[in-house]
Structure 1
């Protein structure tokens, strides 16, 4: 492991290379055209942002976390502004901004923990106690440790910002954006049940969100075509192995807290199997741990993206791993991707029913209370997974609801027109009739052609209700010719 002075030198060389490597490069033996003054001005801003990274590291090690955060935010804003102008400035290379942008995000995620920056030195003991003046894990608030650390490593160090992850980021920000937002809202109302299970295993919350967003979008009662069930989509046999199954007629795979507990235990188990290789662990969760063990063998340090692994797993697993990591990354850094998650008050509460009602009726009478344009059906179902949403619950029953709905229930759903309307709609009678018998095929008669018969003469005598062309097509006749002994199908005229 290099000493501290050598490490700092290496870091400065690394940063300088990441910032200036393309200036003055030659291509195919030709001298590159010097950048214009406007391009150089943008690159100067890039240099300043890079220096902000180094300054924030120094401030953090000095114990001034507040100043470090301010420096980091300023550097990120400066980098965003410069990169935005780079896209419209001829001769500016946007790729030069990405490595610095990536470093700043990783620093923001807590990758500064310890004396060295990520990936510097071999055999570094990240979990070692910090020396004086260093910002070790023990000096961070528990909430921040739980968000950023996985087995002593910053989560951002374990997410390779490669092509598949970038492609998944784009999908979440475009075609899957609605799913991402729904997953975030659903998770906020389930958080108090699911997050403590991950905390107990020392796993990062962003990982829980990433898995849930990809698996079910936070729909507690989701069931896949393959039979995986619940918010974290456990197969039945795997669920049994981790204590999920039938409980008084209820499949506990649909219980958010139990599902999160089982998932955390599974992740903890498989992280040990794959030597804390997060990508392989996620691949095992999606594609089966047995298959991944056979592919990986003894080399648990192998990258999921190594052709020996990546080329042998299913396309579903190739898509799954980067999608989970990208969702986790956006959970940590929404502002850095022009993404704004809605503010959600997920504090839990309950109501004691004053009148018999079902979840469906409750949804109708609550309407869009507390600015919920999509209504509360999904949230109420998620928080009461054991209840049939169409089944009326008796007065006195206790339902779990977001704390913010307690007052709305008292105002809207105890008295007045809305519960009456909801009950009227819910109890509407829909006429039920047996399905009509399937229509029988048109009766067909068979006729054996005699000597001297023509198709026209046959139809005049036996099937005057059909045309020559229709009968010819029915019997694959060429030019309407028939021959003695041939059996024809003729539509019945009945």
Structure 2
């Protein structure tokens, strides 16, 4: 029998949830010895958890941690067995979870740092609360969200319901490769993105969840609707939070700036939606104006309330649980038989000893430092302003993981590998040469059939394009099926790929 927990719970380990969700229907008035034994273990675990709180308050932190772990392990095991035992009522376990959530000690989520100190000054604390704690279950939903969301830990409320469970399964099956890639990409960029969230007192898991769903950690990702960057800002929204087009570079592609803008946006919307994270995520995906209108029509309703949920687009109904599921997996992979790879994303830098593009560096670095998929994505993500095909001069400084500093010195500064990389890179240019410079008459007419004594006949046509806000050579090239960045740069004589709003350029078109 599946059921819905009466109050939104803090993220719970999979063993507990699976046990509660799959239990058979209880038999009224009849319990077996096996069921009674599970209930006894549940009660013992509950008392053990309460004892750990008392130990922590007395200052015996090591013993408190051990007692708490034993209690939670016992509770998880009994709950999991409940799901396999006919007649066992999962509601009893739900009641225990709910009661333990009222015991403010900040460490219910196993695997997070414990904070067993009394916090009477916490948001939501009321005069007369025992030991400065808050009876969380008595607060209205919005205020309860305030109490649990803020703080150093990821104590956000989440209902582990059908949509979230389905999202967990999707991440762990069909989208597992995407999830793993997103994790690697994030860890390599973590030093650029996490500080903004940390400063805003927002949970890192949330940042990862949004990024995993939005772009998979590819900083140059662009959606069909024009949302761009690792956190997929629309141009107008990005501009509102400081992401503009500077010197031809779309700042939405900068992971540091994008994370800062995202943190500001999330913080703003949490304020607008009384710190309801689900509603905030829905606003991020579906638009804050729409979400505020929907929320105003059903004051106090949760995201999953039919009055709210039924008005969401299919995309937003999918988006919110997918972000939350990815965030939960980020925190608790072991509970889902998931193992994150060990990634050394410490910041580093190299100074080029010879001219090289990011593509050439990728070739000469190979699978250095046990990176089977190579380093192209990481180099692109850490140096978003550089075109990967454009050679950078001697002395240029590039951001790389610190572990690559030694690999660059041994493989790319000298020797056969940079020669090979350069040879392959030059071969690409030969196979797909840029369109020759056309006469001004040919450019005006959109045809390159004419010729002159100083230019060769061109086999492609071009059209005029006026640069708009948010445009970059990368985004313009994506709109063309027969030209890349270098084609457009060369046909227009652009240096440094700099563009200006209102500038008229020629873009090759297919014939």
TM-score normalized with structure 1 length: 0.71
Match of 2:272 in 1: 273
Structure exhibiting the larger radius of gyration computed from Cα positions: 1
Match of 2:411 in 1: 412
Decide whether aligned partners of structure 1 residues 126 and 196 sit closer, same or farther in structure 2, where only a CA change above 3 A counts: same
Decide whether aligned partners of structure 1 residues 36 and 150 sit closer, same or farther in structure 2, where only a CA change above 3 A counts: closer
Deviation at residue 410 of structure 1 after TM alignment: 0.6
Match of 1:487 in 2: none
- Counterpart-to-counterpart distance in 1, 2:409 and 2:97: 50
Q: Within 5 Å, give how 1:23-422 maps onto structure 2.
A: 26-27=27-28, 31-32=29-30, 34-37=31-34, 39-82=35-78, 106-108=108-110, 109=112, 125-126=123-124, 150-152=149-151, 155-297=154-296, 301-422=300-421
Deviation at residue 85 of structure 1 after TM alignment: 5.4
- How many pairs were matched up? 396
- Counterpart-to-counterpart distance in 1, 2:59 and 2:68: 15
Q: Give yes or no for contact 2:208–2:326 (8 Å, CA) kept in 1.
A: yes
Deviation at residue 375 of structure 1 after TM alignment: 1.0
Decide whether aligned partners of structure 1 residues 204 and 157 sit closer, same or farther in structure 2, where only a CA change above 3 A counts: closer
- Counterpart-to-counterpart distance in 2, 1:247 and 1:199: 26
Q: Which runs of 5+ in 1 are unaligned?
A: 1-17, 118-122, 137-147, 437-494
Aligned-partner SS, 1:401? strand
Decide whether aligned partners of structure 1 residues 336 and 71 sit closer, same or farther in structure 2, where only a CA change above 3 A counts: farther
- Counterpart-to-counterpart distance in 2, 1:199 and 1:261: 10
Aligned-partner SS, 1:226? coil
- Counterpart-to-counterpart distance in 2, 1:129 and 1:259: 41
Deviation at residue 287 of structure 1 after TM alignment: 0.3
- Counterpart-to-counterpart distance in 2, 1:333 and 1:244: 33
Deviation at residue 339 of structure 1 after TM alignment: 2.2
Deviation at residue 97 of structure 1 after TM alignment: 5.8
Decide whether aligned partners of structure 1 residues 415 and 154 sit closer, same or farther in structure 2, where only a CA change above 3 A counts: closer
- Counterpart-to-counterpart distance in 1, 2:236 and 2:280: 18
Aligned-partner SS, 1:370? helix
- Counterpart-to-counterpart distance in 2, 1:174 and 1:100: 31
Q: Which runs of 5+ in 2 are unaligned?
A: 1-18, 102-106, 135-146, 436-457, 461-511
Aligned-partner SS, 1:427? helix
- Counterpart-to-counterpart distance in 1, 2:240 and 2:246: 15
- Counterpart-to-counterpart distance in 1, 2:152 and 2:299: 17
Deviation at residue 204 of structure 1 after TM alignment: 1.6
- Counterpart-to-counterpart distance in 2, 1:394 and 1:127: 59
- Counterpart-to-counterpart distance in 1, 2:75 and 2:204: 28
- Counterpart-to-counterpart distance in 2, 1:44 and 1:234: 52
Decide whether aligned partners of structure 1 residues 411 and 127 sit closer, same or farther in structure 2, where only a CA change above 3 A counts: farther
Q: CA RMSD in A?
A: 3.7
Q: Give yes or no for contact 1:60–1:68 (8 Å, CA) kept in 2.
A: yes
Q: Give yes or no for contact 1:126–1:152 (8 Å, CA) kept in 2.
A: no
Q: Output one character per residue of 1:36-87: Cα deviation in whole Å (capped at 9) or x when no partner.
A: 44x5444444443333322232233334333332223333434455556566
Q: Give yes or no for contact 2:214–2:231 (8 Å, CA) kept in 1.
A: yes
